Homo-oligomer: A and B are copies of this chain.
Amino acid sequence: MNEELKIGVIGTGMIGQDHIRRITEVLSGARVTAVTDADRTRAEEVGARRGATVFADSASLISSDDVDAVMICSWGPAHIDAVLPALAAGKPVFVEKPLATSQGDCVKIIEAEVAAGKRLIQIGYMRRYDAAYAALKATIDSGAIGAPLMYHSAHRNASVPPDLYTDDMAIADTMVHDIDVARFLLDEEVSQIRVIAGRKNSVGGALRDPILGVMEMSGGAIVTVEVSVNIGYGYDIRGEVSGETGTAELAESNHVVVKSGDGFAGRVPADWRERFIEAYDTEVQDFIDNARKGVVGGPSAWDGYAIQVVSDAGIEAARSGRAVPCAMIEKPTLYN
């Protein structure tokens, strides 16, 4: 395809608008031709500003001839009702995380994609497109540290909104990224998960924070995840793989080291936008480049399903204090 990819965006909230900006002002090979949103006024405003046609609903947007590919940025519960029609239309679809909000819905989507006979879905787990995680994965795959045996992850947020962020969200919204990365780096599924909570960070009031996730993987690797969401100093993403003959860890991301006061110092990113801005660009450019070639790559519906299973198990594990197994359906060959 030499023509620019025409993208229809479902959901014009914060993340939707950000992807529209990205496609329009930063990336190459695509433009946003269509938008829709449950909030019609918001869709009108964005469409007018960006020169995109406003559609009344997902169905009409998806079926439009002016839409080559679909980007779903609505809230989680609405995803399935946009994903299934997009699959039916045979159009490439980029879905922001989560794929859906229940394992059952994820399975329905998988069945539909398998029935379509080819991958059409890319999910917005952007960390896989981050240069540092990609280098970590490449290091493992190169054999430089032997077979990986443990992975230690830390996911620290400067702060979360006290009235909106719940105990479950620490797993379903935050730890899911570490679950995705662990599966990506180790090429194993999660067999069972424990979640251990100790003394609470007083900054977060009654919030169960920090928590420690401990996962045992299908091939025997062990994963630890610290989630701390009110640590104040920034958005600090750490990852270290311990293998048979070595270790590999993410380097710090600062550009400059300053010496002043009584020592040296470097910056930690303020939030995920600062830390992963290039990863967001890269994942969407990859979606565009692939779609123009008629293929879809990146995190798949299977990944979305597997993460949903582990997230559900993690929430149960946190409540029960017990290890919870992660039972999954058989993996369709489409995803191998």
Contacts and interface: CB of A to CB of B under 8 A. Distances in A.
A244 B210 CA distance: 9
A256 B25 contact: no
Contacts of A285: 26
Given A135-B255, A224-B224, A258-B248, A150 B198 contact: yes
A116 interface: no
Interface stretch (A39-47, A70-78, A230-238, A303-311): A230-238
A300 to B, nearest CB: 24
Contacts of A202: 147, 244
A232 B260 contact: yes
A198 B246 contact: no
A246 B233 contact: yes
A336 interface: no
A209 B25 CA distance: 44
A261 B214 CA distance: 29
A131 B231 contact: no
A254 B263 contact: yes
Given A196-B222, A226-B242, A258 B247 contact: yes
Interface stretch (A7-15, A60-68, A100-108, A264-272): A264-272
Contacts of A262: 233-234, 267-268, 270
Interface of A: 2, 24-29, 51, 131-132, 134-136, 139, 144-147, 149-150, 152, 154, 156, 196, 198-203, 210, 212, 214, 216-217, 219-222, 224, 226, 228, 230-234, 236, 242, 244-252, 254-268, 270, 278, 285, 289
Complex A-B, nearest 9 residue pairs according to Cβ-Cβ distance, in ascending order: A199-B220, A246-B260, A135-B255, A132-B255, A198-B222, A265-B265, A198-B220, A263-B267, A135-B256
14 contacts: A25-B28, A26-B285, A134-B255, A149-B198, A150-B210, A196-B222, A200-B220, A202-B244, A233-B263, A245-B260, A251-B252, A251-B257, A254-B263, A264-B268
